[in-house]
Amino acid sequence: ELALPSWAGKAETASVLERLGSVYAKQGNVEYAVPLYLRALSQLPLKDADPAAATPTSLCRAAVLFNNLSELFAQRAMTAGAEGKGEDGAELGQALLWGQRAVDVLREAGRLGLEGAEDPEACRRTSVVVQTNQATLLEMKGDLRSAEVLFTSAHRLADQVRWSEAYNQAMLGLRRVQRARGKQPPP
């Protein structure tokens, strides 16, 4: 077995695995992407596995990986639904589970203090993306109340980080959910 060079620590290994997983995901090879993302996650110190070693940076990176997994399963749910395969419920359930893990680790990163992250702004932007994606999945599932809560949070955070594209996406989702719930959206 080949030994890794001394500079190749767990964070670097996780980064390489994540990038390779992204290549496979873009090619539509979910069966290759998922194990790579999972292996990358195993390289990161998380609160449930190694509470003392978890950092805001490791938790934000984990959130990206959890979100990537969520997106893969969401795509499969949409494909299965469009093809009438009837598997979309299980795939959507998986997408929601991975998305919730992303939301949870970002909350934990916030509790530890995002200012302690290597790139606090990137972590906040990750939170906007994760919340918007999870809200969209909840909307697909029909849980409009939970979707509204997350769209509202994503909208506020996008405003705080001055990210207009994400702000608009969250606002569109929020208005869509509020209309579906019979509420009058704010102007």
Helices (H) and strands (E) in the chain, counts: 7, 0
pLDDT reported for residue 187 = 56
Average pLDDT over residues 23-48: 91
The residue type found at 77 is A
Q: Is 151 strand, coil or helix?
A: helix
**CB of 18 closer than 8 Å to CB of 67:** no
Measured CA to CA, the distance from residue 31 to residue 49 in angstroms comes to: 25
pLDDT digits (tens, 9 = 90+) for 128-183: 999 999 999 999 999 999 999 999 999 999 999 999 999 999 999 999 999 999 88
Distances in whole angstroms, Cα of residue 67 to Cα of each of 34, 131, 132: 12, 10, 11
The percent of residues in the chain predicted with pLDDT above 90, rounded, is 71
pTM: 0.88
Structural domains in the chain plus CATH codes: 44-180 (1.25.40)
Measured CA to CA, the distance from residue 11 to residue 95 in angstroms comes to: 25
Angle (nearest 5°) at CA 80 between 78 and 83: 105
pLDDT reported for residue 116 = 85
